Amino acid sequence: MFVNLLSEKLHIFSTCTLQKRGKVDESLHLGNFADLDAREASKRWLQRLDLGGGAGIPARGLYLGSHWKESLEAERTARDLDLNPTLWILSAGYGLLAADETVVPYSASFAPGEDSIQNLKWRDSLAANHRPRNWWNWINQRVEGEGLSRFHEEKEGATYLFILSQEYYAALEHELLELIGAGKNVILVSAGLYRQRNKAAPLVRPHILPFSDRFKQVDPYLNKTNVTLNARLGKWLIENYAEILAEGVDTLTPLLQTVADSVPDPDRKPVNRMTDDEVLMFITKHFGPAHDSATKLLRKLRDEAGLSCEQKRFGSLFRRFQNNQQPDLFGDA
């Protein structure tokens, strides 16, 4: 499915989420292909997507969770402000998706986890941070006009607003470079990437807006969990700077830097990072009626134990713990 590309548009790109609506068919877990060469796995994966797995639904209705909810809110805000928005999804399973394209539930991710692309068999010479780019190139071959290249011939006047994590930036960097090189108005909203912008390509760095967790002090709406921070910043940006988005980063960056400089550095608790084994030991020890979900256990780990684990990683480890709790059918009654 292709969306008509018109001038004076706002294209909003946001990352997919691990949580999906509906049951994922067993054959559409990328972890099933972990024993294959990564290139071959991409071919088999696209074949499986073509076969489907259950009833298809519009992509905008597939994803769940607070990040995706805020992404939809960003689109709605842009529409209310007559910015002529089009929402796109950056998917580790499908590649670049139009929000109204029909898809089936699947499980694939650039981030660590059971269905991560990192679990495939990659040649030893290819570093882990280069793998997302290869995977992104391969899966976007499912449609004509691969990935972001479809926008190269778009008329002037469009703005390309990306709300993305560092993992997804690694997948898209080469295409972002091409868009920027073509003179497109590219804007990146990624607090994590801005914090480590020296790792981004030099040509991309000026396009990363100076957003950080400082902005949580600017507006109560932004003072929520870091899981939704990028999406909330995207919506906040649209809501407060709608009239100058088309002017690009040269205008936006100094204005936002002034806002950032107007608030003090936030008080940050010391970070006590944990290994996967340590997290699993914590879950095993504290799982019970009062702490029977990933959300409750993560809150206990952070607030009571003063420890740290990223929410997505904790959720993946909690599911691993649950899978290991299946009863032994041959054990004693």
Confidence of residue 268 (pLDDT cuts 50, 70, 90): low
DSSP label at residue 218: T
Q: Residue 71: is its pLDDT beyond 50?
A: yes
pLDDT surpasses 70 at 253: yes
Task: Parse the chain into domains and list their residue ranges.
Answer: 10-261, 276-323
Lowest-confidence range among 122-131, 141-150, 190-199, 237-246? 141-150
Query: What is the arithmetic mean of pLDDT over 247-254?
Result: 97
pLDDT score at 213: 86
Is it the case that residue 271 has pLDDT exceeding 50?
yes
Least confident of 68-82, 236-250, 315-329: 315-329
According to DSSP, residue 108 is labeled: -
254 to 80, 142, 233: CA distances (angstroms): 26, 40, 16
Contacts of 243 by beta carbon, 8 Å cutoff, 6+ apart: none
Place of tokens 């997804």: 168
Which amino acid is located at 114 in the chain? Answer: E
Indicate the residue type of 309.
Answer: C
Higher pLDDT, 158 or 2: 158
CA 54 to mean position of chain CA atoms: 24
